[in-house]
Amino acid sequence: MDADALLPEILKRSDFIFMGWNVLMLAGLGVILLAALFPSLRSSTRGGRAVLAGFAFFAVTHLLGMMHVVKQWESLSEALRHKLAADPALAEKIDFAIMVPHLTWIVPFHLGFDAFVVLAVRWLGRARMA
């Protein structure tokens, strides 16, 4: 693969990560909204657990998918840097576009948002019981 083909692939991974964050936020807010709009789900232990289990499954598979995309992005970025080793000025110009977010940023943020959704749903359930 040449340098001209690598950059669009890297940008696709960047767009996917951005879209992935949006999907996570919409899914989390959707679960909270579902719990808020349907009191029967909140008051039912079984229903609440089903909603949380569904969100947990989604969250884990989503996080694993994002981690896989980051690994692909890292590989493509490294390949592009290798291809552009002969032209350091160009490599420096596009470095901002191929910079990969580190997993030490992605994982805690994802888990923190997941915990927020779970706590919000549990809080809504307890607020209904009180």
Per-residue pLDDT at 129 exceeds 80: no
Per-residue pLDDT at 45 exceeds 80: no
Per-residue pLDDT at 103 exceeds 70: yes
Instruction: Give the pTM.
Output: 0.82
pLDDT, tens digit, 9 for 90 and up, residues 90-101:
888 888 878 888
Could you tell me the residue ranges of all domains in the chain?
A: 3-129
pLDDT, tens digit, 9 for 90 and up, residues 57-95:
999 999 999 999 999 999 999 998 888 888 888 888 888
Measure the CA–CA gap between 46 and 49, rounded to whole angstroms: 5
Mean pLDDT estimate for the chain: 87
Which of 71, 121, 47 shows the shortest CA–CA distance to 113? 121
Per-residue pLDDT at 56 exceeds 60: yes
**pLDDT range class, residue 42, cuts 50, 70, 90:** low
Q: Are 123 and 48 in contact (CB under 8 A)?
A: no
Q: Are 11 and 97 in contact (CB under 8 A)?
A: yes
| In the block, residue with structure tokens 């901002």 | 96
pLDDT at 49: 82
Which of 125, 127, 104, 118 shows the shortest CA–CA distance to 31? 118
Residue with the larger pLDDT of the pair 23 and 91: 23
